[in-house]
Amino acid sequence: MKQTISIDTPLSEMTLRRYEKPYDLTRRNLVRKLCLSVGLLQPGDSRDVVVDVLFVLLQAKVENKHLTSEEVNKKVIDIRTAEKMPLVGIAGSNIRRQLKRLREVHLAEKVKNTYRITEFAKIKDTFEDKMIKYMLPSIIERVREYYDKVDGAFSLE
């Protein structure tokens, strides 16, 4: 008999990690730790182009600029070349995928085929408004429902 495998796709997800306080880090390493902290990057990942994509968008925010995915790609290549880092993960399709991931965690938004940090706001404000006030409570409530159901399924009553 053929067995069907169900794929469990989450409605939303959030990864949060706690690292040491951010002392004496370069700007890129600050962005890297932020990406690690919110699950955009996994510990030990050598493919860290998402760090450079976010870095480019943060630099563009200072200049109030919207960037196309091609402009982001070029700037990422420039950064990685200047830092003598391997040019891995710099294909246009991967840059667009990383931009999509940044949009999913509300760090970036797409406006008429260009990208920017969400509303050019401070990313801390976006984290507070979108993640802490909106996403986190709904995730916690649903996890509580699963705890209740498991307790009910495994109770002595």
Q: pLDDT tens digit string along 68-100?
A: 999 999 999 999 999 999 898 999 999 999 999
pLDDT at residue 47, rounded to an integer: 87
Residues lower than pLDDT 50 in the chain: none
CA distances from 52 to 17, 77, 85, 126 (A): 20, 9, 11, 20
Q: What DSSP line would sit under 109-143, residue for residue?
A: EEETTEEEEGGG--HHHHIIIIIIIIIHHHHHHHH
The domain 27-120 is placed in CATH, from the list 1.10.10.1200, 1.10.10.10, 1.10.357.10, 3.20.19.10, at 1.10.10.10
pLDDT for the residue 155? 87
Q: What's the DSSP call for residue 3? A: P
Q: Considering the entire predicted model, what is its pTM?
A: 0.86
Query: pLDDT per residue over 35-44, tens digit each?
Result: 999 999 999 8
